[in-house]
Structure 1
Amino acid sequence: MFMQFNINKKASMLMWTLFMMMAPLSIYMMLSNKTTLIEWVLFNISSTPIMMTIIIDPVGALFSSTVIMISANVLQFSTTYMGHDKFIDRFTVLVLLFVLSMNMLIFFPHLIILLLGWDGLGLVSFILVIYYQNPKSLGAGMITALTNRIGDVMLLLSIAWTLNQGQWNIVHMWETGFWNWQSAAIMLAAMTKSAQMPFSSWLPAAMAAPTPVSALVHSSTLVTAGVFLLIRFYPLMSSTPWFNPLLLLIAVSTTTMAGLSAMTECDMKKIIALSTLSQLGMMMAAMGLGMVNLAYFHMVTHALFKALLFICAGTLIHSHMHSQDLRWMGNITTQMPTTTSCFILANMALCGAPFMSGFYSKDMIVESSIFYSNNFIMLTIILFTVSLTSFYTTRFSLATIWGPSNCNPFIWLEENKSLTTPMLILSSMSTISGSALIWVMSMNQEPLTIGPVMKNMPMIMVMTGLLVAWYMNTQQLKLLPVMMQIPLTHHASCLMWFLTPLSSQFTMKTPMLISHNYLKNLDQSWLELLGGQGVASSSFLASNSMMNMFNTKPVNYLMMPSILVLLTLTLL
């Protein structure tokens, strides 16, 4: 009876109902700019109350509405993409559990209860990554789970270091003697969940999950949980002198590495994952520069157009017999017009094309970093990564939309209602959300007075990356980028600056050798001789030798047990 209910067909409707309830609340909270705290005491330990706290503020309400809307579209998309799966209802329940964990993380500012949502995200993400149950998915799931487990341990340590305050509410915390250690622990936890260097390798590996999982989990919710945690803690953590410079350095390194790696990648989902990594670095860089409102603004707009990009990519993968290689695709303009249009819109928003949602947040981050006095090297690298984004986006579009088709001629490209409806909804949101949010959100943004050249510098870098990518990818192979001509740099780019082997095979090699030597030298040698198996084999050999010494008569078989008993008693 439970299987006949068809959860997968009702889940999208449930999410849309919740969105209709959350959207008016989030608009009201943003317009009024109010924060509501609901607290009740669960129990007391001596004189310390353990309270359940719910915070309803503009930041949490808007982000929750975004997550619910994206999950409604992704669940509708999954009814076609996962339609042939016998266990689609189990998949839908896992996605709903993920949305529940994300909302627990958003609305509970209590560190101990927030840990439930934090751990729930990691556990459900691991189950969804290993959903296809093959060795590649299991390896990717283990990297994902173990990397996120580092963040869980850091949160547990920060809970222990907050014990002397007598409460774990984020809103009411103050600086203590352990505050430097606690800041480092929270920052490490956010870095693991948001895949910042050196914990970046799990995000492209997690693309082994089904595409609806990638559209929801690895674009807009799980990876932004670390950014959201830092936004919650930012008023307190920004007082630590080393926090902002260190966060800026890590974020700029991450976004540069991801942009360079996406230039040489051929797996469609990995390119989008690396672009997610690049945009997460941009959010962290904005926070490192002190622009926390702009980081949050970019997080919301990025969630919308990145989910759209994953759904468009999922439609292409579904139509190409679940192949993810760019080199097998091309010329989808005439056969898939809706997907092509939405795909171009998502790429334009990602690059920061004027009047798209990504333009308002990304352009404002770059302009603010130019206006305020910052490190010139960091500013140059940020501008360089803007051109890298347009470079790999143009290469991506040339291979899938305008390039020649290299796939099997018998492949049927389809666009049914379950595929086009989520794309059209998310593309409209990716177009209007940036301007709508900048009108509604309460941001104390100072007027920026900069020259026309610096004002247009983000668009100049975008156009530079676009033209260079167009020229290099439409000419002969001799004009390939320098990174693809030199073997070392090509391998470094494909392996994310060697972070992939360093975080997986390299770390497992020494423990594997130690355990293998232990198995050979102890378990299969001395422990076998001295253990029960060795004693049994030696007694068996002794009895056989004694039987060979005497005549084999029936009385000898009767005497052997008594002799063994006498020997045992003598030894005791």
Structure 2
Amino acid sequence: MLLFFTSLMMACGWGFMLIKGQTMILELELMTVSSTNFSIMLVVDKINLSFSMVVTLIAGSVFTFAHKYMEEDHNSDRFLWILMAFVISMNLLTFSGSIFFLLLGWDGLGITSFALIIYYQSFESLSAGFQTLMVNRLGDAIIVISTFLFVLVGQFSFISLSDNFTSVGLVLMLSVAALTKSAQYPFSSWLPAAMAAPTPVSALVHSSTLVTAGIFLIIRLSYNVPLSEEVKSLLLFVGAITCLLGGWAATYENDIKKIIALSTLSQLGVMVFSLGLGFPGLALFHLYTHALFKALLFLAAGNMLMATYGSQDIRLMGGIGMAMPFTIIMFNISSLCLVGAPFLSAFYSKHVILEKMVMSSLNLSSMLIMFVATMMTAKYVSRSLKAVSWNKPINSIMAVSSNFYTTFPVTVLGIGGIVSGKFLSMIDLGNLELAYIPSFWGNIINIITVSGITLGLIRGSKVLSNHYLSSMFFLTPVVSMGSKGLAPLVKEMSNLDYGWLEPSFSVKNYHSKFGAVLSDIGVWPQKQSFFMAGIILVFTLA
């Protein structure tokens, strides 16, 4: 309940900032070295408060659901404390105004996400955790390197960035670091692997915390410094490829949690694509709506997993709607939000992004990629709905009694998934972008969506279900086997560390032998002759 109260306080602060139109900055100067100010800055404005409101609302719902989902786990208290540290780290990143405060939340997310992913003690969880940690370390290294450019600027705050060559380089480096955290291509392989974590963790990671941290960082930078054309081109290309990658891979996946994870990958690509088009407010708007209905989708899937004894295969979930009608209704609502069904939350953000794409001077190849990605999204959504709602029962389904811990969070997020698009567009007009396109293009977008739904309802061909598409263009096996190619190099480096580069092993042996000699001198009447003791003493004093 504390998180829900915090979300209410953030909502009140957001409303106050919208009315006043102010920004509060709290800066603590640590020291000044050669005209360079080392400071920690805290920024409070409508963007931070609204984002924190969404994060804490979803976190409160996830914590409520976790009480039921993890009730039979003996270490559930430890799990909840790590999850709380995860939420705190995300809020630190949200309100950060300097690179030091950013690193505090950024590294906190990396460490706590690793601890949550490896919570189930198995080889699969450990492998997924290390893969997530290593990919995120790339972004950490880039951010640490960017501190040298901040020294050239003379400030470590984002507000001090201006439109010069150094600031453009900083924005480029921070954008690349953000792409690793948001699982954009070619850093996408860790996102489906992170499904080894418990379902409440997946609901929090894929909605409003870990994967959205990079998107939020780029949005904050774009409000301070206009993105250069090079950065926009990079974001357009990466966002379009990632959107297609996630949608196409989800079409040939049968694990319900991995389908939802790949749908997150696809929607993150849409947000990055919107940033490449030059509409950060629209990307933030879609981030809010996506966070609410994606958390709803995961919690509904979690209820279904409890009913099917942990089975995650959608082919074995037929007939679950008869046993759990409320859960399947919420699952359908969140799935339709993914497609951008009319008058649901994503309709007000995703369709506007596609309309802005048609209005912009974009090349034909990028436009075709986004249209195909939109069709693939509709295809895997209709395929999963058909498998869960319309197929005949195959596996035995356990009747799960509805209680407060499973019904209340799903209801809260369900209301958010339905009305958040209209509500946010009415309250904050800064996130709303008007698009005027010919009716021809509007009909094309609708036809593409309907075509994808139709393809998903048709039984898939086994010829198309190949490993190339389901493994995200062979990205997953390449990353998994990458350590094998580095093994000989790591072995040689280990030999060098024990040799000339770091002779700690030899020094350690020398000290141990010298210590043994001194010990023998201390007990010389029992073990040594007077002659040997004298020689050793002279040698030591020399």
TM-score when normalising by structure 1: 0.84
Query: 1: CA distance between counterparts of 2:462 and 2:401?
Result: 35
Partner residue of 2:414? 427
Letter in 1 for 2:475: L
In structure 2, relative to structure 1, the CA distance for the partners of 1:44 and 1:412 (3 Å cut) is: same
Partner residue of 1:307? 295
Letter in 2 for 1:509: K
Partner residue of 1:559? none
Q: State whether residues 289 and 417 of structure 2, in contact with CA within 8 Å, keep that contact through their aligned partners in structure 1.
A: yes
1:88 to 62, 76, 79: 76
Q: State whether residues 171 and 227 of structure 2, in contact with CA within 8 Å, keep that contact through their aligned partners in structure 1.
A: no
Partner residue of 2:483? 508
Residues 456-465 or 308-317, more deviating? 456-465
What SS class does the counterpart of residue 43 from structure 2 fall into?
strand
Per the TM alignment, residue 246 of structure 1 is displaced from its structure 2 partner at its CA by 1.4
Asked if 1:187 is matched to 2:153, the reply is: no
Letter in 1 for 2:242: T
Unaligned 5+ segments in structure 1 are: 1-12, 474-478, 485-489, 524-530, 533-561
Per the TM alignment, residue 119 of structure 1 is displaced from its structure 2 partner at its CA by 0.5
Asked if 1:480 is matched to 2:461, the reply is: yes
* Aligned pairs for 1:219-230 within 5 A: 219-230=207-218
* Aligned pairs for 1:296-335 within 5 A: 296-335=284-323
What SS class does the counterpart of residue 109 from structure 1 fall into?
coil
Q: State whether residues 304 and 430 of structure 1, in contact with CA within 8 Å, keep that contact through their aligned partners in structure 2.
A: yes
Asked if 1:137 is matched to 2:116, the reply is: no
Q: State whether residues 33 and 442 of structure 1, in contact with CA within 8 Å, keep that contact through their aligned partners in structure 2.
A: no
Query: 1: CA distance between counterparts of 2:497 and 2:162?
Result: 53
Asked if 1:24 is matched to 2:24, the reply is: no
Query: 2: CA distance between counterparts of 1:148 and 1:268?
Result: 25
* Aligned pairs for 1:113-192 within 5 A: 113-192=101-180
Query: 2: CA distance between counterparts of 1:31 and 1:466?
Result: 42
Asked if 1:442 is matched to 2:429, the reply is: yes
Per the TM alignment, residue 40 of structure 1 is displaced from its structure 2 partner at its CA by 3.3
Partner residue of 2:38? 50
* Aligned pairs for 1:242-253 within 5 A: 242-253=230-241
Per the TM alignment, residue 441 of structure 1 is displaced from its structure 2 partner at its CA by 1.1
2:50 to 62, 83, 89: 62
Residues 508-517 or 238-247, more deviating? 508-517
Residues 302-356 of structure 1 show CA distances to partners (whole Å, capped at 9, x for unaligned) of 0000000000111111221222121221111221011011001101111100000
Partner residue of 1:415? 402
Partner residue of 1:5? none
Q: State whether residues 246 and 263 of structure 2, in contact with CA within 8 Å, keep that contact through their aligned partners in structure 1.
A: yes
Asked if 1:286 is matched to 2:274, the reply is: yes
In structure 2, relative to structure 1, the CA distance for the partners of 1:47 and 1:160 (3 Å cut) is: closer
Query: 1: CA distance between counterparts of 2:387 and 2:300?
Result: 14
Residues 224-268 of structure 1 show CA distances to partners (whole Å, capped at 9, x for unaligned) of 100000001114554423111111001101110111100001111
| Matched pairs, number | 513
Per the TM alignment, residue 138 of structure 1 is displaced from its structure 2 partner at its CA by 0.4
Query: 2: CA distance between counterparts of 1:515 and 1:387?
Result: 44
Letter in 2 for 1:510: G
Letter in 2 for 1:291: F
* Aligned pairs for 1:364-513 within 5 A: 364-408=352-396, 411-443=398-430, 447-470=434-457, 472-473=458-459, 480=461, 482-484=463-465, 490-505=466-481, 507-513=482-488
Letter in 2 for 1:265: E
What SS class does the counterpart of residue 37 from structure 1 fall into?
strand
Q: State whether residues 356 and 430 of structure 1, in contact with CA within 8 Å, keep that contact through their aligned partners in structure 2.
A: yes
The structure with the larger Rg is 1
In structure 2, relative to structure 1, the CA distance for the partners of 1:161 and 1:302 (3 Å cut) is: same
Q: State whether residues 190 and 229 of structure 1, in contact with CA within 8 Å, keep that contact through their aligned partners in structure 2.
A: yes
What SS class does the counterpart of residue 449 from structure 1 fall into?
coil
Partner residue of 2:517? none
TM-score when normalising by structure 2: 0.89
1:267 to 242, 245, 255: 255
- Report percent identity of matched pairs: 39
User: Over aligned residue pairs, what C-alpha RMSD do you find?
Assistant: 2.9
Unaligned 5+ segments in structure 2 are: 499-505, 508-531
Query: 1: CA distance between counterparts of 2:496 and 2:363?
Result: 56
Q: State whether residues 309 and 347 of structure 1, in contact with CA within 8 Å, keep that contact through their aligned partners in structure 2.
A: yes
